[in-house]
Chains A and B, each alone.
Chain A
């Protein structure tokens, strides 16, 4: 079963803390924490799953997996 609300998956062991994901997030849902300089979803419900963070991550530390299904409505 597919979750209705998923967030991009961040592998902090791969993250270099460069901040490219936070800079690219158009909704400012993802920001760098002041103390650890790691990305965190400070406004998770603002995330639209646009996958920009995944696209810009130079370390391939962010993944936005998609499920592909047929429409079952109507």
Chain B
């Protein structure tokens, strides 16, 4: 982790935050206040960023990159709950629910990630003074609720086979994959174990839905995969 004690590029930060869904409601002066008091941190791919149970000492906002938010079972199995990308706030739900809140999950950088941390007091002040900011925050929270409801439905009502098909389509549709994903990581995304992912990938290949070319998984049959994803 690399850390600066002051923002090197204040104008750059104001510009980036001003474009995000949550912070776009703030005035240039308010964004300037954030830039004055914030600390920038950068993380390499794979680096842990926060841990479940740790107290939330400041507001952490993703400036760029991708954070996988996950929880682990007692036997070490990992479930990815969500990904946080540009403009998103880390652990926003416990932050708004409790005083002295703790992270409800852990997070690690999937690729090179920049985060800015703001004092809790400043966030509280913005919430108290700016109704437009509250509304964008509310909309952001509603989006998070929808995401978690969708995950709960998928984990409880769909098979691992269906979830894998949906995951492969989503992943292949994402433009510019800069980093690959291991079968272990796919398992954590879809709520199963590596062995099941390996077996299902073999099944899909035998059915002619995909082919393996060394490190490349090439999807061949969108229609069949989409039908499987709907099951």
Contact = CB atoms under 8 A, between A and B. Distances in A.
Interface of A: 2-6, 48-49, 51, 54-55, 60, 63-71
A69 B217 CA distance: 6
A52 to B, nearest CB: 10
24 contacts: A2-B215, A3-B215, A5-B214, A49-B212, A49-B214, A51-B198, A54-B182, A54-B183, A54-B184, A55-B183, A60-B184, A64-B182, A64-B215, A66-B180, A66-B181, A66-B186, A66-B216, A66-B217, A68-B177, A68-B181, A68-B219, A69-B216, A69-B217, A71-B220
B221 to A, nearest CB: 9
A48 B214 CA distance: 6
Given A51-B198, A55-B194, A55-B198, A67 B215 contact: yes
A30 B218 CA distance: 26
Contacts of B211: 71
B215 to A, nearest CB: 4
A65 B181 contact: yes
Contacts of A5: 214
Minimum-distance CB pairs A-B, first 3: A65-B180, A49-B214, A6-B215
Which of A51, A67, A69: most chain B CB closer than 10 A?
A67
Contact of A67 (B173, B177, B183, B222): B177
A66 B172 contact: no
Nearest to A74: B220
B218 A70 contact: yes
A66 B217 CA distance: 7
Given A2-B216, A64-B215, A68-B168, 13 more contacts: A2-B215, A5-B214, A49-B214, A54-B182, A55-B194, A63-B182, A65-B179, A66-B182, A67-B177, A67-B181, A69-B216, A69-B219, A70-B172
Interface in B176-221: 177, 179-184, 186, 194-195, 198, 211-212, 214-220
Given A6-B214, A48-B214, A67 B180 contact: yes
A2 B217 CA distance: 11
B30 to A, nearest CB: 41
Contacts of B121: none
B230 interface: no
A71 B225 CA distance: 13
Contacts of B195: 55
A3 B172 CA distance: 17
B171 A68 contact: yes
Contact of A65 (B171, B182, B212, B218): B182
Nearest to B76: A60
Nearest to A48: B214
Contacts of B186: 66
